[in-house]
Amino acid sequence: QQQVKQSPQSLIVQKGGISIINCAYENTAFDYFPWYQQFPGKGPALLIAIRPDVSEKKEGRFTISFNKSAKQFSLHIMDSQPGDSATYFCAVPVRGNNRLAFGKGNQVVVIP
Amino acid sequence: DADVTQTPRNRITKTGKRIMLECSQTKGHDRMYWYRQDPGLGLQLIYYSFDVKDINKGEISDGYSVSRQAQAKFSLSLESAIPNQTALYFCATSDLKASGNLYFGPGTRLTVL
């Protein structure tokens, strides 16, 4: 069973600050590591993903940093905005059956 | 129109009742999934299907069953609902070539009294 651990469980950040949330995993199959964003009352949606042939990927204010040897990847939200307040899930491919295992989520609250 | 739709969006039922949650998609994806979300527990996979003739158990399949009626339709049934099945249920789809990229529906909030 794939173990995916996210930290911290919740995070409060001032507007304009940097939010950093982390994901650690045990084993993986194919190389694809996504972060999903979920707003209250909505389904999760893919935010950003990385393949581990690179150590970092940036899309706008969102950056994934990947450390393959440590089996960890993190999401950085630069210049955090109140609209970024959401729950963020990391996911890791499960070896053997071609699907994703999700972490328990990080709740991020950005205060004005 | 939404790519992944779920019906009903909210349902309140009583213990022992049979409940069916339905999911339809217009994305043309082969792969469909049912997830359950509970506060603090994240997203747990109930069942998944990689094509019409394929059904697979996920992490928490006990007490649930599914039917893949067509490529676009995947339904989840609770044969005899119990209170600890009170949760938010999400259907999701993915393409064969990008199975790490899931498209989620809006969710069904189920309450079992």
pLDDT tens, B64-104? Answer: 999 999 999 999 999 999 999 999 999 999 986 666 789 99
Chain B environment of A32 (Cβ under 8 Å): 100
- Amino acid making up residue A43: G
Whether the pLDDT of residue A94 is over 90: the answer is no
Greater model confidence, A97 or B83: B83
Model pLDDT, residue B22:
98
Q: What is the Cα–Cα distance from A96 to A28, expressed in whole angstroms?
A: 9
Determine the average pLDDT of the residues in B55-66.
95
3-state secondary structure of B84: helix
**What rounded mean pLDDT belongs to chain B?**
93
Under the banding of pLDDT at 50, 70 and 90, the label for residue A32 is: confident
- What are the CA-CA distances from residue B64 to residues A103, B17, B61, B106 (Å)? 22, 13, 5, 20
Least CB–CB distance from A102: residue in B4, B42, B107: B42
Nearest to B90 by CA among B25, B13, B16: B25
Nearest to A86 by CA among A49, A53, A38, A44: A38
pLDDT tens, A42-54? Answer: 999 999 999 878 8
Greater model confidence, B41 or A104: A104
Beta strands in B9-86 (DSSP E): 10-13, 19-25, 31-38, 42-49, 56-57, 65-70, 73-78
Number of Cβ within 10 Å of residue A57's Cβ equals: 16
Chain A environment of B60 (Cβ under 8 Å): none
Residue A91 · residue A102 · CB < 8 Å: yes
- What are the CA-CA distances from residue A49 to residues A18, A73, A92, B78 (Å)? 19, 10, 11, 34
Greater model confidence, B13 or A100: B13
Sheet holding A62-67, edge to edge: A4-7, A19-25, A72-77, A62-67, A56-59
**Inter-chain touch A99–B90, beta carbons under 8 Å:** no
Determine the average pLDDT of the residues in B50-67.
94
Determine the average pLDDT of the residues in B17-46.
94
**Inter-chain touch A43–B59, beta carbons under 8 Å:** no
Model pLDDT, residue A29:
64
By percentage, how much of chain B surpasses pLDDT 70?
A: 96
pLDDT tens, A42-91? Answer: 999 999 999 878 889 999 999 999 988 888 999 999 999 999 999 999 99
Q: DSSP per residue over A5-54, as a string? A: EEE-SEEEEETTS-EEEEEEES--SSS-EEEEEE-TTS--EEEEEE-TTS
Chain A environment of B40 (Cβ under 8 Å): 9, 104
Model pLDDT, residue A51:
86
**Inter-chain touch B107–A42, beta carbons under 8 Å:** yes
Under the banding of pLDDT at 50, 70 and 90, the label for residue B9 is: very high
Query: Which candidate in A7, A94, A104 is best for mutational testing of the B interface (most B CBs within 10 A)?
Result: A104
Under the banding of pLDDT at 50, 70 and 90, the label for residue A99 is: confident
